[in-house]
A and B are shown apart, each in its own frame.
Chain A
Amino acid sequence: MSIFEYAPAPESRSIVDIRPSYGLFVDGEFADGTGTPFKTVNPATEEVLSEVATGSDADVDRAVRAARRAFTRVWGPMRPADRGKYLFRIARLLQERAREFAVLETLDNGKPIRESRDVDVPLAAAHFFYHAGWADKLEHAGLGPAPRPLGVAGQVIPWNFPLLMLAWKVAPALATGNTVVLKPAETTPLTALLFAEICQQADLPPGVVNIVTGAGETGRAVISHPDVDKVAFTGSTEVGRAIARAVAGTEKRLTLELGGKAANIVFDDAPIDEAVEGIVRGIFFNQGHVCCAGSRLLVQESVHDDVVASLQRRIGTLRVGDPMDKNTDLGAINSAEQLARIRDLTAYGETEGATCWQPEGDLPDRGFWFKPTVFTDVSPAHRIARDEVFGPVLSVMTFRTPDEAVAKANNSTYGLSAGVWSEKGSRILKITDQLRAGVVWANTFNELDPTSPFGGYKQSGYGREGGRQGLSAYLRSDF
């Protein structure tokens, strides 16, 4: 116990009005679903927050028909500059109601309020602002003289960044003139439903954005609906494969943003204190529920002991607990299922012979929690070095030469992101060029921006989101 203990600093939840139950958002209105409703819980307390409708095949069909109608009659023919105005309006409303979104996201997801407040919500607004600007400039995007929208986009998003992933999907789709049927994750539907209110508040024409909640079956109905022109999915590689199979042989366009097992490479000439910060940010940001998390730390052997010692000291200062406390660094694991998966994979790590380290300290009694964890003595053959844990678990390996670092970093079925730490600019340029990953950070990690395309190599998926490149996933430019 330090002499300087921070008193609890909880963010007030009174700003959010969570309804006891939510329907589907179809054609501009909330309507009951015909499936069996499900409950969404606060993973930090296991308190039931609300009951949410499940969209059946018939509900999804209604949503797709509404989206088609809106595309044909209103959104498709609309002047691009006017579409931009709607997006700017949505972006501003997100900013105005930022605190509300941040609190709701933290309650439903378990992530620290500091992150939802400082990262998720501002970035979501930034994505709408960025794409609003593109709406009337698409002929200058390098995608042909008159790129045209695809039609109806069916989008399925994960639970790790519920609102942000919605923004990544909805903003480019709308800016390019498409309409949307979006299915949020079943453990985190609430901010998407609050976003539906924003659509109403912005007077977005009915049917342009439809939100259909539910679990896997609902998602399957969305992506396999015959009148959907474009499928966009972010989530696990396993589900991504199933979607690719379902979409194969159809006219549907597909982008997949899947798992990752990013290498974070620390050379001996790295700025060590900042590298340690970057390692922490890379793997413990959002409890490690990040597809681009730096879950494989590759340290040059000559600095391994120092880096690990510094890292452990730093992890000891991480504040784990109530996500609503403004000083919390590490919140709750999103669900009991995910917690079980993390426990399962870390147990493998120990049986396979890696050394497990966790800081001192207690975890809350209720809710789903996992301590920040570091595995040393990890071999590239271990499962914790190969499988995506999607939790606060870091695997530390070593290398001796730059070539070995590159070989080990690329030795993965994934290729979403990577990091390089060195004070030597020429080394950074050379190494980043050789890494087979969609995003490579130099002397930083998990830095996201709407102007920068994001996406993977290999089993991390295909297509890019964000930036000029991200627009092409929603445009037809081939004639």
Chain B
Amino acid sequence: MTHVLDPNALADTSGGAGTPPDPFADVTRSNDAFRAFLHGLPGVDQVGAEARAKVLGTRSIKTTAKAWAIDTAISMVDLTTLEGADTPGKVRSLAAKARRPDPTDPTCPAVAAVCVYGDLAGVAKEALAGTGINVAAVATAFPSGRASREVKLADVRDAVANGADEIDMVIDRGAFLTGRYLDVFEEIVAVKEACGPAHLKVILETGELVTLDAVRRASWLAMLAGGDFIKTSTGKVSPAATLPVCLVMLEAVRDFRAATGRQIGVKPAGGIRTTKDAVKHLVLINETVGADWLSPDWFRFGASSLLNDLLLQRQKLRTGHYSGPDHVSVD
């Protein structure tokens, strides 16, 4: 909904780097103006949003639709490892899985990207060379984001230099929750600039924002600042991705495109472990924003264990029987 987003209500002037797209070019001219804009977005009724997500969760996706959904979900996975114990060997093994998720079935699609810490982006890049699978790197003092802006930007530049095609940054939740929206905005603008050609995913860490009103505001903030994707979570905070949160973010990208013509992607991450969860998200896309977002260019799952469940369900559809966890590879 865009009815309260009349930019004419909010004076003029602006310009330079980090200017939001029309018709919102001037909403960031001061923190007060930006606050007025974000707080003027229509509220989200939590009970209603949860009820809507729940009803969509009852959709029954069977046979051909299920087969399509599983392959689409596999192609949307950002196969992720974000552990202190990560090693080049672990990343190479993950990359191998990303290329051929099901070694017994060449028709199984590859995943969208492999997501690692920035220092291992180079290893991932090398292992994925020539595959078309992107390397995503988390940066900006992931997951807490508690570092100076210089350190965060250096983190980003380092990951990009190591070959990252996509940067997953975290927003400064402390600044957001204290109402310093312009600081958050400017940081995203700076990170976007540091990304160069790399795509920028902005992690809102919705588990720390807590309310759906805050999720809607943070989504708009990140889109106005130039993020290419908005992403729910780091996976390090619980709750991570939930259907109501994803619903609100999808509504945000839908309304943002209607107002500006720019399409932004959405990435729920963390907590999506089963095929059922993934299919529910695809249903949510289908019935909220429509088919335009049903592609890895516009929707990703940040996940690790999800892929194996998708593969098991895929085998089940193909063979008619369930196989055990030893029929898919450990990461």
A interface residue numbers (CB < 8 A to B): 2-9, 114, 118, 268-275, 277-278, 302-303, 305-306, 310, 317, 326-327, 423, 443-444
Contacts and interface: CB of A to CB of B under 8 A. Distances in A.
B45 A7 contact: no
B92 to A, nearest CB: 34
A270 B1 CA distance: 11
Given A278-B48, A302-B3, A443-B48, A5 B43 contact: no
Nearest to A316: B290
Contacts of A310: 1
A193 B173 CA distance: 60
Q: For this complex, into which size category does the number of interface residues on chain B fall? A: 20 to 34
B93 interface: no
B60 A327 contact: yes
Contacts, number: 85
Contacts of B52: 274, 277
Given A6-B65, A269-B42, 9 more contacts: A4-B65, A4-B282, A7-B62, A7-B64, A114-B58, A270-B42, A272-B42, A273-B42, A303-B3
Given A4-B294, A274-B52, A306-B1, A118 B58 contact: yes
Interface in B34-66: 42-45, 47-49, 51-52, 58-66
B175 interface: no
B45 A9 contact: no
Contact of A2 (B2, B3, B45, B286): B286
A274 B45 contact: yes
Contact of B291 (A2, A6, A302, A326): A2
Nearest to B254: A313
A4 B68 contact: yes
Nearest to A422: B43
A444 B48 contact: yes
B44 to A, nearest CB: 6
Chain A interface main SS type: loop
B287 A317 contact: yes
B251 interface: yes
10 contacts: A2-B290, A3-B291, A6-B62, A7-B65, A271-B44, A274-B47, A274-B48, A305-B3, A423-B45, A443-B48
Nearest to B69: A4
A443 B64 contact: no
Contact of B59 (A6, A118, A270, A277): A6
Contacts of B282: 4
8 cross-chain pairs, A with B, having the tightest CB-CB distances, nearest first: A274-B48, A9-B60, A271-B45, A326-B60, A274-B45, A7-B65, A423-B43, A272-B1
B68 to A, nearest CB: 7
Interface in B187-226: none
B291 A273 contact: no
Residue from B43, B45, B64 having most chain A Cβ neighbours under 10 A = B45
Contacts of A303: 3
A271 B43 CA distance: 5
Nearest to B2: A306
A282 B2 CA distance: 23
Contacts of A305: 3
Given A306-B2, A326-B60, A4 B48 contact: no
B246 to A, nearest CB: 13
Contact of B44 (A114, A274, A326): A274
Contacts of B62: 6-9
A118 B42 CA distance: 30
A5 B58 CA distance: 16
A422 B29 CA distance: 30
Contact of B42 (A4, A271, A278): A271
B51 A273 contact: no
A277 B48 contact: yes
Nearest to B49: A274
